[in-house]
Amino acid sequence: MPAAAPPQVRRVLLPQQTVYRRVYPASTLAERMALLHATALEAMRLYGTDITQRMYLVESSIRRPNKVSFCVAVPPESEGDHVVTLPATPALSLYHHGAYEDLPAAEKKLRAYARRHELTPTGKLRRIYLEGPPQHKDPAKFVTQVALPIEEE
């Protein structure tokens, strides 16, 4: 079977999205998965979800990667504690196919692309989970959009 093509970096506009966001310290993948799961259950219980949007994402600072925002899409009319609207933002993006443990390499690729093309990151990284444990038992089949928001030109 031929090797998969390397992921392509693209410029995108991440859409505006209303999310239920909780911020926690999390340094390991296991902690992050547990906290995203807990945040998802809390969001669904309080607000329901907005299935027209990407359901689950995490955002972290490039400088402080262990301070993580766990976000779950909620209906746009939702109001209350921990409900925020993420603005539409330009970003560099690629789709990572594979285990979550390999995501740091995708993030590094986005930062290197930004440097080569003289683009200024806003200081955050976003992982948007498209297909994962609920859909696949094999981590090689997971699909994650990795995005590096950048300043407008």
pLDDT digits (tens, 9 = 90+) for 117-151: 999 999 899 999 997 666 767 778 888 999 999 99
pLDDT in tens, 65-115: 899 999 999 999 999 999 999 999 999 999 999 888 899 999 999 999 999
The pLDDT value given to residue 6: 58
The pLDDT value given to residue 71: 96
Give the three-state DSSP class for 134. Answer: coil
Nearest to residue 131, comparing CAs of 142, 116, 117?
Answer: 142
Residue 1, pLDDT above cutoff 50: no
Q: Which two tokens stand for residue 131?
A: 């297909």
The set of residues, in sequence order, having a beta carbon less than 8 Å from that of 42 and lying 6+ positions away, is 20, 22
pLDDT in tens, 17-46: 999 999 999 999 899 999 999 999 999 999
Dump the DSSP string for 37-65: HHHHHHHHHHH---TTS--EEEEEESS-T
Residue 13, pLDDT above cutoff 50: yes
Q: Are strands 17-25 and 83-86 parallel, antiparallel or unpaired?
A: antiparallel
E-assigned strand segments in 26-142: 56-61, 67-73, 83-86, 89-97, 124-131
Domains detected in the chain: 10-149 (3.20.80.10)
